[in-house]
Amino acid sequence: MAAPVNIIVGSHVWVEDPTLAWIDGQVNRIDGQDVHVQTTNGKKVVANISKVYPKDTEAPPGGVDDMTKLSYLHEPGVLQNLAARYELNEIYTYTGNILIAINPFQRLPHLYDTHMMAQYKGAALGELSPHVFAIGDVAYRAMINEGKSNSILVSGESGAGKTETTKMLMRYLAHLGGRSGVEGRTVEQQVLESNPVLESFGNAKTVRNNNSSRFGKFVEIQFDKSGRISGAAVRTYLLERSRVCQISNPERNYHCFYLLCAAPPEEREKYKLESPESFHYLNQSKCYKLDGINDAEEYLATRRAMDIVGISEEEQEAIFRVVAAILHLGNIDFSKGKEIDSSVIKDEKSRFHLNTTAELLKCDPKSLEDALIKRVMVTPEEVITRTLDPEAALGSRDALAKTVYSRLFDWLVEKINISIGQDPNSKAIIGVLDIYGFESFKHNSFEQFCINFTNEKLQQHFNQHVFKMEQDDYEKEQINWSYIEFVDNQDVLDLIEKKPGGIIALLDEACMFPKSNHETFAQKLYQTFAKNKRFIKPKLSRTNFTISHYAGEVTYLADLFLDKNKDYVVAEHQDLLTASKCPFAAGLFPALPEESSKSSKFSSIGSRFKLQLQSLMETLNSTEPHYIRCVKPNSVLKPGIFENLNVMQQLRCGGVLEAIRISCAGYPTRRTFDEFLLRFGVLAPEVLDGNADDKAACQMILDKMGLKGYQLGKTKVFLRAGQMAELDARRAEVLGNAARTIQRQIRTYIARKDFVLLKKAAIQLQSCWRAMSACNLYEKLRREAAALKIQKNFRCYTARISYSALQDSAMIVQTGMRAMTARSEFRFRKQTKAAIKIQAHLRGHREHSYYRNLQKAAIVTQCGWRGRVARKELRSLKMAARETGALKEAKDKLEKKVEELTWRVQFEKRLRTELEETKAQEIAKLQEALHSVQIQVEDANARVLKEREAARKAIEEAPPVIKETPIMVQDTAKIDELSSEIESLKALLLSEKQVAEEAKKACTDADSKIVDLAKKLEEAEGKADQLRDSAQRLQEKLSNLESENQVLRQQALTMSPTGKTISSRPRTTILQRTPENGNILNGETKPGHDTALVVANTKEPESEENPQKSLNEKQQENQDLLIKCISQDLGFSGGKPIAACVIYKCLLHWRSFEVERTSVFDRIIQTVASAVEVHDNNDGLTYWLCNTSTLLMLLQHTLKASGAASLTPHRRRSSSASLFGRMSQGLRGSPQSAGLSFLNGRMLGKLDDLRQVEAKYPALLFKQQLTAFLEKIYGMIRDNLKKEISPLLGLCIQAPRTSRSSLVKGRTQANAVAQQALIGHWQSIVKSLDNYLKIMKANYVPPFLVRKVFTQIFSFINVQLFNSLLLRRECCSFSNGEFVKSGLAELEQWCCYATEDYVGSAWDELKHIRQAVGFLVIHQKPKKTLNEITNELCPVLSIQQLYRISTMYWDDKYGTHSVSADVISSMRVMMTEDSNNSVSSSFLLDDDSSIPFSVDDLSKSMPQVDVADVEPPPLIRENSGFVFLHQRSDS
């Protein structure tokens, strides 16, 4: 960022602030290089001019969505833009194609629902508001179009939202790829389910974060050649191995160690674990627990996560055995051995941990000891075994721990990848990198060195990508950029990794020399890099060194660099664990080739780190990168708080400011020609008056200003750093001069106007003053006369008042004196009475106290005496207890108690055996315990006998006191022991009783449940019997109805015209042709497939077959002719569709509705299907829409549904119901179900001579298929109209940009030109609507369907315009609202022209966009209250939608502001309440593509059709088989 060069007095600038990072103010004075600034918080600041940056006073209050659009691209401008957008809940912001995501610390579900995904699908970057979906879509489209893998690098410190951002990215990629994972889990779900496992084993507490990732994670989403997700994989990089052995206060080791130490007691006992304080690898830091984290619960959660990932119980146990082994391994210490440079196990505690480690790893303890303290050297002559000194043995121990943990972590990652499922044949991938960010603490060690080295590498990759973007932009605009300097950090990388003189190389060299230490290593660094500008030696330290990274200077402590870098690959360790009897541990160490396992090799963690980093960079370089920088706005993790210093540090560490520096090195300010002329045209008005094009006009303005180094591209002006400020200063000067001229003229006008007014006021004031003086004189004389009269009366009044007061005072004094005397007398009497009462109470209290004290003394005396007597009796009892007889009596009592307890236990055993057999094992245990107690009692009895014999002998040999005392003491101890055992048995017996009672209670509950279930089963069986009876009755009723139906058919046959000549025959039978062979069979009266009813004589069977065949052939010919006829466009007769009427009359005459099998319905449906195959033939579609709707209406009024069918409620069919779905639903119903009790009624039109039709199954299926085709044709017409107007809607939502002509021709003329351009698009939409209306009118589509079509089309217009308005900030402007409002007026005018019969309530469907546009164009928005907005202006819009429009609004015409900050805050509170109440918070509308009507709605809305007046078409008019069509019309 270059220093500003055009700071003048009055400029609005940014200056540094220790609290807010940057604060804005205005320049008051400039003294050389010192600038005096008056800040907005009232302070005065003096700063160097090089650290003062100009402020863009014309920047939008809500910020810009792409910070490359900022007029001044510098740190304070970036910070202010992010803060302004964050305050409006706009958490995403672009910097070019880099996305900055600020964690909102609250749920914003409307940003991530499926509607939002659909909006960003296929949208170009920058077309819609910034979003993580846009980055995912760009990566996916680049992969599909170019066939190249892409990567998305998500970075940020812990708590910045990296995991949530990664989750949203994978959700969007899964939405685009559309592949579900195993067992219903998507790929992103499977990857996220692995996070708890990886966090437990790869995350640890650092100085700044409690859950910091100590490894990098690269998630590969794999795609096949068609762009579908085919698999996924998790790659891990750069695990911090040294943390296993060395940690510093107040950090922690990896979480898994602490979780295992908090495991349930049985597991800790199994692994022989204690508290974390007892293990060397954990107690190097005094931090053992995290605030708000329960390690025991986290341990169980980790085990559950392992189950989900697919790690078996055996594998989980083996994993934690290895983790416990590492902890025990760290507690093995060594001391010097007898030989020189030898070591041995230090003490028994270390030996215990050695044996425990061997037990957990299932290897030989001796082999483990030898692997730690011995080394085998293979020479050509012999194999030499040497021992290690204690220090080397400790290094060997730590090397083993780091190697085991590293391989365990690799195994977990491999297991997770197997669970997710990889595709080795994937054509391309999209990788999401989640890795730790730049770290700078108070004390930085080897871990921070490696992490910052990684970030330096990634920053170089980032810088190259940003420079490439700049280069692409320059090439696109065809400007010269070859001299632009590229900001690179290669010198820092050379300082760290260059061979042989880099820091890592020197560290490896120091590690290979036994006598090297941290001081010699630091001195080597000082000598090597003394002249390196990136390397700094601190003044007061001998071992520290400072590296100047891209994010700032970091000072490292070299004290532990050597220890943390050592990582020997020891052959003895490999052999030890390969031979382990634990398959899991052995699997971590597969056998190596013979030559590689003969000796130990030195391997440093730094070198390994560098190789892994190189592998990661190769992966990233093979992909097209995209960057997302996550930012944590505050350290308290609460919404609505934006800490400037914290954010600025993260932007610096995330490389965003470095990207800005790269942009500033080129052309940080870019403006289109129109924008440039609109802002700086005032600098050269003569240029605008000419006829030069925009580019030439910009060239002339810049040349006039004398700027150098700028570039003019094809569409933009590219300005160097500082040139925008210079132009703004010139513009401010020109505007200032113009303002002063205007002020001078207006001040002259105001001064003259004030003078004239003042003169008139003076003359009027003089006349008024003279009149006032005369009035005052008259008033003075009148007052003097009145004063004399007042004085006389006043003196009389005062004398009277004085006398009255004196009289009253005398009376008051007398009254007071008398009252005081009375009160004194009363007070004396009262005091005398009280004194007497007090004396009486005092004497009584004194006597009572004396009595109580006397009583207490007597009680104390009695207690003392009784205690003395009791103590004497106690001594006598003790003496008696010493006697042998008392001991025997106590023993007998104990034996009785034991027998009683034995009997009780046996009784409880029998009782519990009868109640619950499942408790048998516990009773057996109790019996064993009782048996052991009996044995102990018997042993005690034996010992008592022996002791009595010994006591008897001792009595004979010693004095009585000496003989009795030991016996008493020993027997008393035994008694106490037996008493305690009896008490324990009582407790055990009590617990068993409780268990038995619980079992009884459970058994009782189970019995009650069984009884309830039995009752319910009996009720269900009764209901089933009732249903069987009902079904049987219905079947009987069905058979009766069928027999009645046969009789009615025979009667109808005899009455039909075709049966008149045959009715004279004596005997008739109804014959049926089978579908298999076409033969005629005698049988019962039964309708059949293509049934032709004939009458035959039973005496002449030979003549029956030929007439029947001729009738069937004639019927088939008629059907063929009908199909051929309706395949043509028959047109309309009197507004009625001829085809529908002819089909209906033919089917009715042929009685096709009453047969159970016929093919005519299928042929008609096939004809309709073939006619509507051409989707874009709107004329044909509307023709068949009219025919199908009319035919369906006729069928609805003619066919009568069965009882069972009539009970089925009509449901509104959705657009997803296809023809084949409806056919399959119809075929699944049984034909018999259509035969239940049909209803009778009248026929339509003039068909009263025929009975109403009771439809069979084929007719009902035909009606169902016809309904499906009606809905399909309706949907095709509607979708065709949507496709036609969709491109036009995209042009209508945003007003055309005002060109430079607006500066010359004036605002009115420019707006008229733009208005005409926009109206052209709206008129195209109106023309499309009008064309469709004319087509549907010409084909006599029912007005009901026309209204439904236009209602859904207007709803579609409303959804598209409203959603585009909310997703594109450039559309939420005042002028754009005016343009859209004028377009809506065109639609309203068309609705009036089309009349309500064909449009209906379609205009009301535009309510959302109408109210939104009304809000955009309303004036004085800051004065509107929330109640006025929600209830009066925009009652239909939700609070989320209002908030979105209010925050995105900008006035490009008058420069006014949106609603007030109080209204915005109230909206935010209401949104928070809605999110807490689980109210949908999506601000987008959803397009309803369902079918908005049912068959009943259609039939009720259409007028009845008189089919009798419809003339038959010429093709069938003269055919004898269709004579009935003429007969009907004639009648």
Instruction: Determine whether 209 is an active site residue.
Output: yes
Distance CA 430, CA 624 (A): 9
Going by C-alpha positions, the residue among 510, 529, 505, 512 that lies closest to residue 521 is 510
Instruction: Determine whether 1230 is an active site residue.
Output: no
Catalytic residue among 159, 161, 181, 713: 159
Q: Are 1172 and 1484 in contact (CB under 8 A)?
A: no
Bridge partners (DSSP) listed for residue 871: none
Catalytic residue among 6, 209, 1068, 1475: 209
Distance CA 1511, CA 1529 (A): 7
- Angle (CA) 161-167-169 rounded to 5° is 100
Joined together, the tokens standing for residue 948 give 């009595």
Catalytic residue among 163, 194, 331, 426: 163
* Distance from the first to the final alpha carbon of the chain: 97
CA 1081 to chain CA centroid, Å, is 72
Most distant CA atoms of the chain, gap in Å: 159
Instruction: Determine whether 231 is an active site residue.
Output: no
Helix 694-705 × helix 723-881 angle, to 10°: 90
> What b-and-e string marks burial along 1151-1173, b requiring 16 or more CB atoms within 10 Å of the CB?
bbbbbbebebbeebbebbeebbe
Catalytic residue among 63, 96, 181, 437: 437
CA distances to 345, 981, 1487 from 906, rounded to whole Å, are: 55, 18, 78
Instruction: Determine whether 58 is an active site residue.
Output: no
Instruction: Determine whether 1187 is an active site residue.
Output: no
3-state secondary structure of 1373: strand
Catalytic residue among 149, 203, 212, 1198: 212
- Number of Cβ within a 10 Å radius of residue 81: 25
Which residues make Cβ contacts (< 8 Å) with residue 710, sequence separation at least 6? 667, 702, 717, 718, 719, 720, 723
Distance CA 282, CA 271 (A): 16
Going by C-alpha positions, the residue among 546, 562, 480 that lies closest to residue 513 is 562
**AA letter at 1386:** E
Instruction: Determine whether 876 is an active site residue.
Output: no
Which residues make Cβ contacts (< 8 Å) with residue 579, sequence separation at least 6? 363, 367, 586
**Residue 421, by phi and psi: left (phi above 0), alpha (psi -120 to 50) or beta?**
left
Catalytic residue among 165, 195, 213, 445: 213
Residue 919, CB half-sphere, CA atoms under 13 Å: how many? 22
CA distances to 402, 455, 483, 564, 612 from 398, rounded to whole Å, are: 6, 27, 53, 10, 21
- Angle (CA) 700-703-706 rounded to 5° is 155
3-state secondary structure of 1484: coil
Q: Are 564 and 605 in contact (CB under 8 A)?
A: yes
Catalytic residue among 93, 158, 1190, 1458: 158
**AA letter at 881:** A
Instruction: Determine whether 928 is an active site residue.
Output: no
HEC secondary structure over 49-97? HHHCEECCCCCCCCCCCEHHHCCCCCHHHHHHHHHHHHHCCCCEEEECC
Peptide bond into 250 cis (omega under 30): yes
Instruction: Determine whether 158 is an active site residue.
Output: yes
Question: What sections of 348-434 are H helices per DSSP?
Answer: 348-361, 365-373, 390-420
Helix, strand counts (H, E) of the chain: 49, 30
Helix 1374-1399 × helix 1343-1367 angle, to 10°: 170
Sign of CA dihedral 293, 294, 297, 298: positive
**AA letter at 1344:** F
CA distances to 625, 938, 1141 from 1107, rounded to whole Å, are: 84, 116, 30
| DSSP label at residue 426 | -
Catalytic residue among 157, 188, 220, 439: 439
Catalytic residue set:
158-159, 163, 209, 212-213, 437, 439
